Each structure stands twice: as structure tokens, then as C-alpha cells.
Amino acid sequence: MNSDLVISAVNLGKRYKRYDSRITRLADWLTGGRICRYTEEWALRGLNFQLRRGESLGVVGQNGAGKSTLLKMLSGTVRPTEGTVAVNGRIAAILELGMGFHPDYSGYQNAIMACQLQGWASDEIEQLIPQIEAFAELQGYMGQPVRTYSSGMQMRLAFSVVTAKRPNVLIVDEALSVGDLYFSHKCVSRIRDFKQEGTTLLFVSHDPGAVKTLCDRALLIDKGVLLRDDTPDAVLDYYNAMIAKREADAEIRQVETTHGHRETRSGNRRASIEDVESLDSRGHESRSFRVGEMATLRIAVAVHDVLEDLTVGILLRDRLGNDVFGTNSYHVTEEINAVEPGRHIFEFDLGLELGYGSYSVTVALHKREHHLEENYDWWDSALVFQVFPGSEKTFVGTAALQVAFRKVTTHG
Amino acid sequence: MLNVILRYRGFILGMVNREVRGRYSGSVFGSAWAILNPLAMIAVYTLVFSQVMQARLPDIDDSLAYGIFLCTGIFAWTLFAETLTRTVTIFVDNANLIKKSNFPRIVLPLIVSLTSLVNYAIIMGLFGLFLVITGRMPGWSVLAFIPLLAIQIMFAAGLGIFLGVLNVFFRDVQQVTSIVVQFWFWLTPIVYPVVILPEYAVSLLTTFNPMAEIMLAYQDIVLRGEWPVWSLFLDQALLAGASVVIGWWSFRKLVWEMVDEL
């Protein structure tokens, strides 16, 4: 390994096995895995990154994204299922809160124990303890059992112990958010000092400000996948957009489930629409899209008869019920579909060059180019999705036209 | 392994120290209880049984013999039972530490065995003092305790690690263990001398209960000053070795899955 490289993660992945019950685990073990009744859950997969000496990396992502799993693997507490982590130097980590303090032991005893766990010699620990005590500022509480501590006090002790000696890599998992403002500042300045002396920092936080000020690089992890590895500004912008999108998505779903579809169905039912989904460009189901984003409408159709001609049509309407855009498979492909009975899936790819707001999708199955000839099924407002601002310039209206502006001449 | 022990000796010794003292933390007399408690036990077993209840051993004509017999057996059994049951729960009990710190987890059962041994040493020190004062100290044969204790601890620790690893996945193990240990106690000649048993029962016990032969040896050493017949302990030594191997193997195989499960 290059001496400047401190951490190198290659194709890192962590899988947890989830058994339905303890009995199924027992059965699995006793039969030597012949009855494999567990589901695999990848907390993190296919992660690659490298960290150099003195770099500081922020890790952002929503709860359950796999951030903590990543830090646990880096610190060696949890073993990766696949891939490798190579670490050059001593790692100190504050994982989650409290770092495994024993509730009945005093602050002193826990501090000593934590030092011993780092493998430090006893005379060295003796020298470090007063320093730890001074930094934690737990006057009068060091002799008390840790169970009487508040979470902020536990964090102060944990941070003081872990940073008693400068590590090569410091991992801090959401710990700073617990302490009061004064202590956070103290921690940050200690982290800065370490950084100056060449410590590499790995920092998980939900506080974008802390990531921006402390880190010079950031990773965005979502659902166990590394989405972005960039400057903190770029990553946080992307992250915020992602959250906004997800919130909008949840809102629409909630409206859908609480009000139900106020749907109108008609047609002779020789074929019927089973399900309509909207997917984003990564193939994930989504109900909210950014202006200009590519969306896929997936329409599941059950055909009950042999049909020599099946046309699938869609119609987008705005929130006031005005038609915005409509087309059908015959117009798009100029082909006639003959279908056998059974379940068929059709997809429309749409570039959503639309204004902000919500839109409904009406889906129709009919013969030839319009539904007047023979209408199989018609589902009004089968789905509602939302378009929200992306990176484009502000505009109003329902159409997102390509626009440019220039000044050509000036007459005096 | 030796490397690990050496590197983490500070942690191991510190934990043992805290465990031994920790039992009495929050009390005014503190460590004094570590001495007062065993003293009370010795007093109860010797004075109450010998003097108040007039319990006698059929083959030894000594009023204190039954009390001494009882102490020898119960203290050794306590060491065995404590090592076993506490090792079974050690990984579950320290889930917090295991999940949040990176250290060789095998030191945890080591700490349990050492702690139990220190507790045993304290009580046996006092018991030895009692024997000296009452003029019943056996001779050099007490040295035979050392190999016997080694066999016993290896057996308990190995078995405990194996069951302790399983216990992380199936918590029933610790419940079963505590029940089995209770039956095991009464199936071991601790409270009753074997001479009161019929011949076939004795041979059943010594064949199927590895602790029985060991317990008889302790009692013979303390009461009669007799050296054990070492050839009788080949089985026990092999069993102890095997249980350590099984414990170590199961630990190695499942330690990381254990971390995920906790």
C-alpha cells in the first residue's frame, strides 16, 4: 500500500442473515445449510473508496442507509462479508453512543477499562487519566457509576478517552450531536488539531454544517449503495434534493391511501388494467420526479380474450383536470399489437418536461388509434405523481420549454 | 493466543480486579465482604453441621470431618458451576462492549475463569487457615489440587465457551445450563459421601460424571491426605482437552456471526 493511503476499501459489502425464527436457524444449522430459510439483507454492497493521510471524510445518508455498518467494518468491530478493508495505522472510534461503558463502574474505572481495551500500558494509562479527566470536565462525577450519567456526559467521557492519544484515523459516529454547544466546540477544535498533525477523519453526522466545515470530502450512502463521492457541497446538495423528493413521494402516497383512488372505470373488459406504476431512471418505484427527469410508466394488463389489436394509451392531466399530454402505443410505434390471453407488461418512457405540481395519469386499453372503436378498459386517474424543481432556472406554467435569452443589439 | 493475552493483559487483569471487587461495590465495608462472606460459609458448614446437627462421616471418626468434607466439595463445585454458568452468558452479558469495541473477544471467557479462580483462591486461603488452626491441615498432597483444578477449569471453560457461543443464537442454552447444573450438583458426591451409596450407583457416577472422580480426589486429599491415583484421571484430562478444542473451534467459527447477532 502506498504509504500515503490510510484506508482502502475494495468492493466492501456486509450481509446480514435474517432468519424467520430461531427454529429455522436451528434447522439450517442442523441440516448443514440444506434448508436455507434465511433472507439475505445487504446493509452495504460494492463500496470502493480510498482515504489519504490527513483527509477528512464526511459520510451522509438517511437512517438505515448503511453508514454505521461502514464505520463498524472500518474500525474492525464487524467483519465484512465480501471485499476488503486495509487500514494503515491505529484507528480510534466512537461508534454510536457510550462506546460500551459498563453502567455500574465509575467514570474512572470505565476510562481505565477503555484505555486497557486499546491495549495501552498501565503506566501510560496512569499518565493519560488526569488528562482525560480534565478534558471531559466531569468534576465530581468521575467517581460515580456511569449509569448516573446523562448521554451528554457519557459522550464527553467517551470522546476524551478515545482522543486521549492522537490516532492515525479517528472515526466519529454522530456523537458530537449529543454534547452541549460548548463541548462540541471543544471536540471540533481537538479534531482540527489532530487533522493538522495528519490524522485522517471519518465523520458521520446529520448536521450538514458540521460536515461542510470539518470535511473536505463526503460520501453519500443510500440503501447500502455509495451514490456520491464528491466535495461536501456537491454531496449535500444532492442529498437534500433526494430527501425533498422522498418527502414529496411519501406525501402523495399518503393522500392516495387515505383518499383512495377516486377512479372511474369503463370498458367491456376483454382486457383490463391490473396495475400502474411510475418508476424513476434507476428503476425504483417513485411518485415524485424532478423537472426533466426520465420516468417510466409501467402498466400491467390482464388480457382475457385473444385480441388481434390492443392499443395502450395514456393521458396526463394537471391538477385542474386540463389535458397536458396524451398518446398511445399506436401513435408511438405505428404498430398494431396482437395479444394472447394472459398478463402483459407495457412501459412508456416519458421525459417529464413539465412544470411543478401534481399530475394524474389516465390509462386506457382500446382497439386502433382511439378509444371510440372498441374500449376494453379505461382507468381515470390511475396514478398521481408530482414534479418538483430540479436544477433548472425558475419558471411558471405546466410546460418546461427549453429556453435561452440573449441581448442582440442596442439602439441608442 | 499468547500474544493476545500478553497485549491485553492490562484489560484482563483490570477486569478480573473489577469483577472481584465489583461484587461488593456500593457497600461500606467493600472488599472486607470478600473475606467475611466465605468466613460465614465456613462457619456455617463446619459449626452448624458438625456441632448443631451432629452430622458425621461414617468412615472417619472426627466431629469436624463432615464440615470439612462439605466445604471442600462445595467450594470446588462453586468454582466449577460459576465458571461454567458465567461463561455461558458472557457474550450475551457483554453485548454492548462486543458491538462497540474492537478487541479479541476470546479474552472475555478468560476473564471469567480467572475471576472464578481468584474467588476460589480467597475462600480456599481462608479454609486453609481454618484447617491449620484446627490442626487438620493435610500434608504435601494439597499440591495435587493444582493439576486437578487445571483439568476442572479447562473442562468448565471449554464447555462454557461452546455453550456460550450457542447461547448468543439460542438463549435457551443458558436456561438449560442452569437447570442441568443443579441436577449435576446432586449427582456429584458433594453433600453425601459415596460410602452411603450402593456399589452400582458409585460406578455409574464415576463413569458418567467426570466431576465425581475429581470431587472424590479433593475430599481424599483434604480429609485423608491421600495423593490421587493419577491413572484414574486420564479420561478427565482428555475430556478437558477436548472441551477446550471444541470451545475454541466453535468460537473461531462463529465469532463474527455472533457479533452480527448481538
Instruction: Quick: pLDDT tens for A155-209.
Output: 888 888 888 888 888 888 776 666 677 887 788 888 888 888 888 888 887 777 7
Q: CB atoms < 10 A from the CB of B105, how many? A: 18
pLDDT, residue A252, reads 62
pLDDT, residue A1, reads 46
pLDDT, residue A64, reads 77
pLDDT, residue B180, reads 95
Nearest chain B CA: its distance from A186 CA (Å) = 24
Q: How far apart are CA A384 and CA A248, in angstroms?
A: 12
Please list every residue in chain A whose beta carbon sits closer than 8 Å to the beta carbon of residue B96.
98, 100-101
Q: CB atoms < 10 A from the CB of B183, how many? A: 9
| Residue type at position A6 | V
Please list every residue in chain A whose beta carbon sits closer than 8 Å to the beta carbon of residue B100.
77, 95-96, 98-100
Nearest chain B CA: its distance from A87 CA (Å) = 14
Please determine, for residue A355, whether its predicted confidence score (pLDDT) is greater than 80.
Answer: yes
Contact A371, A380 (CB under 8 A): no
Q: What percentage of chain B exceeds 90 in pLDDT?
A: 32
Tell me how far CA of residue A261 lies from CA of A257, A288, A309, A380, A383, in angstroms: 8, 18, 29, 9, 8
pLDDT band at A89 (very low <50, low <70, confident <90, very high): confident
- Count Cβ atoms within 10 A of the Cβ of residue A376 and give its class: 0-12 exposed, 13-18 middle, 19 or more buried: buried
Contact A93 B18 (CB under 8 A): no
How confident is the prediction for chain B on average, in pLDDT?
A: 86
The grid coordinates of residue B6 equal 500478553
Mean pLDDT of B66-75: 88
Nearest chain A CA: its distance from B107 CA (Å) = 11
Q: How far apart are CA B249 and CA B246, in angstroms?
A: 5
pLDDT band at B89 (very low <50, low <70, confident <90, very high): very high
Minimum Cα–Cα distance from A91: chain B residue: B102
Residue ranges with strand state E in chain B: none
% helix, strand, coil for chain A, step of 5: 30, 35, 35
| H-state helical runs in A34-180 | 67-75, 107-117, 122-136, 151-162
Contact A105 B8 (CB under 8 A): no
Q: How far apart are CA A412 and CA A409, in angstroms?
A: 10
Half-sphere exposure of A253 (CA within 13 A, CB side): 12
Please determine, for residue A237, whether its predicted confidence score (pLDDT) is greater than 90.
Answer: no
Q: CB atoms < 10 A from the CB of B205, how many? A: 19
Contact B101 A17 (CB under 8 A): no
How confident is the prediction for chain A on average, in pLDDT?
A: 81
Give the highest mean pLDDT range of A60-74, B220-234, B236-250.
B236-250
pLDDT, residue A347, reads 92
pLDDT, residue A99, reads 65
